[in-house]
Amino acid sequence: MALVFLCLAIFSYRSLEAQEKTIYCGSDAYLQHQQSVDPNLDRTLNEVAVQTRLATSTVELRSRDTIVIPVIFHIIYQNELDNLSLALIESQLEALNQDFLGLDPSRDMQQYPQIATPYIKFIFAPYDPNGKPSTGIIRKKTDQSSFTRRGDAIKFDETGGSDAWPRTDYLNIWVGVMEGGYLGYAQFPGGGKAATDGIVINTRYFGRRSGTSLGRTAVHEVGHWLNLQHIWGRGCQEDDGVADTPNAEYPGYGCPQERETCGNRDMIGNLMDLSDDNCMNLFTQGQVDRMRAQFAPGGFRESLLYSIGIHPKEEECNGCEGNPPPEVTCPAPQNLSFFIQNGYFKASWEGMAENYVFQLKLPFMNQWIELSRSGKDIAGYLSGFTAFEARVRSVCGSEKSDWAFFQTSSSDRKSSSPTGSTFTVRPNPVGDIAQIEWMPIDFHYIRGETTLREIGKHTYLSLYNTNGVRVYHQACQDEQSASVNVQGWSAGLYFVLLTDEQGYPIHRAKLMVH
């Protein structure tokens, strides 16, 4: 009898846990709500997506330079018990650093070759926005017994929460009792206003406790804050925007040994799934690239690299008037010329400097993308874009000239240049042979260097059916075209993917077989 009772007790505990897990993460619903109340958000999200796409095409992101992020914890409590101890807050910071610095030995037991370390470190913000020393912790007593995702009341002083510190300089982590069993939610890059940027963690799941609450709710939410989607995307058909995470049909819970959906083994252990905390411990290279892309030039989180939370502003200079300004010894480039057609562009200039900085800005981006050059020209391919702004300046030692702007509106149609689309699949729909062609070069930027990527060496062409099953695979050595015989294939939609030698997507297209 005692045994039966024990089994029942365990059973009900597990089903309770499963029930909680089904409403685990509010980030997707939060984003949907933000989009519904702010129609301008789509534009910002689009910008972030383009920047992420450009930046993740560079392997330079795979640096081991650690990115340091100052964190401000807002501990909001009504009940003294929820005024969490310093030790518990420290344990949360450790849990973040364990996964973002790749320090968990259990990760090495995982069999996936694509496991990678973000090299992102979180510290208590040493300075506040006014440059005063800070503990990185704000504690506030509230008259709210609990908070909801939709109201965001936890993020504002006047609604019983705590105002955000500037998102350009800090990661805001709000901790409070949440209604409805939510573990937490995050604001995606560009997914809401500055005043609400950050993550919210339910007090009960904050910090390293025991069993299935080891601080990984915050790890998962910071993943969203750095633009990661859930690993299951929106089912088998729509993935998470990351090439090296296997598709999954739905979130995984608990800690199973094996699970298979979408015709492949699910990546149990990925921190963007919903497994138990003691069961998740890995990010993939694709996820790491996506997160680090947020810190690349023009990235949504780039300003954190220069945070006033770590490097407070210097005092204003009083009494520096005595020194006359130095003479102009670094003239701006001259005789600028610019050509653009069908996405291909070429810019050139003249000057005497040893180095130049070239910048361009896509029509709906707020920030300039920067490229350093020792030469006096630059060419590249920006698929899908017909116009953008461009400017260049000289770099003479530590001195920089004024910007010189290119006349980018008119194009010289007499110049010879590659034309046409950068990746074509013809005919489409197809019944027998599909001819697939791509350009030998693609626009490509790496922090501070290089402008062109040559495509054609060691690329791989793959076709997938709508179940995510690869039905065709070919290595392309120095070729920019392939013929795929689809005779005998089932009619329907296929996805064409061209990847580089490291498996990174260069081009995607859809192919209809009839």
Q: Which residues of this chain interact with Zn ion, rule CB under 5 A?
A: 25, 27
Q: Which candidate in 17, 47, 179, 221 is catalytic?
A: 221
Cis peptide before 429 (omega within 30 of 0): yes
Using the minimum distance from each CB to Zn ion, give the nearer residue, 231 or 362. Answer: 231
Q: How far apart are CB 256 and Zn ion at their closest, in Å? A: 19
d(CA 18, CA 465): 33
Using the minimum distance from each CB to Zn ion, give the nearer residue, 24 or 73. Answer: 24
Active site residue 90: no
Using the minimum distance from each CB to Zn ion, give the nearer residue, 6 or 23. Answer: 23
Q: How far apart are CB 33 and Zn ion at their closest, in Å? A: 15
What is the three-class DSSP state of 347? Answer: strand
Angle made by CA atoms 78, 80, 145, in degrees to the nearest 5: 20
Q: Which two tokens stand for residue 433?
A: 């042979």
Q: How distant, in Å, are the alpha carbons of 44, 302, 304, 423 from that of 367?
A: 12, 11, 15, 27
Closest among 132, 59, 513 to 286, alpha carbons compared: 59
User: What is the CB neighbour count within 10 angstroms for residue 484?
Assistant: 21
Q: How far apart are CB 200 and Zn ion at their closest, in Å? A: 12
Using the minimum distance from each CB to Zn ion, give the nearer residue, 199 or 455. Answer: 199
Using the minimum distance from each CB to Zn ion, give the nearer residue, 142 or 275. Answer: 275
Q: How far apart are CB 274 and Zn ion at their closest, in Å? A: 7
The answer to whether 61 and 53 are in contact (CB under 8 A) is no
How many Å is the Cα radius of gyration of the chain? Answer: 26
Query: If residue 508 lies in a helix (H) or strand (E), which one and from where to where?
Result: strand 505-513
Q: How far apart are CB 253 and Zn ion at their closest, in Å? A: 13
d(CA 263, CA 249): 10
Q: How far apart are CB 25 and Zn ion at their closest, in Å? A: 3
Q: How far apart are CB 240 and Zn ion at their closest, in Å? A: 11
Using the minimum distance from each CB to Zn ion, give the nearer residue, 66 or 261. Answer: 261
Please give the residue whose beta carbon sits closest to Zn ion in the complex: 25
Using the minimum distance from each CB to Zn ion, give the nearer residue, 179 or 370. Answer: 179
Pairing relationship of beta strands 433-438 and 481-485 according to DSSP bridges: antiparallel
Q: Which two tokens stand for residue 3?
A: 């045994």
The CA-to-CA distance between both ends of the chain, in Å, stands at 64
Q: Where are the beta strands (DSSP E) in 211-367?
A: 260-261, 264-265, 283-284, 334-341, 344-350, 355-361
How far does CA 332 lie from the centroid of its chain?
35
> What are φ and ψ of residue 225, in 5° steps?
-60, -25
The single-letter code of the amino acid at 123 is I
Return the active site residues: 221
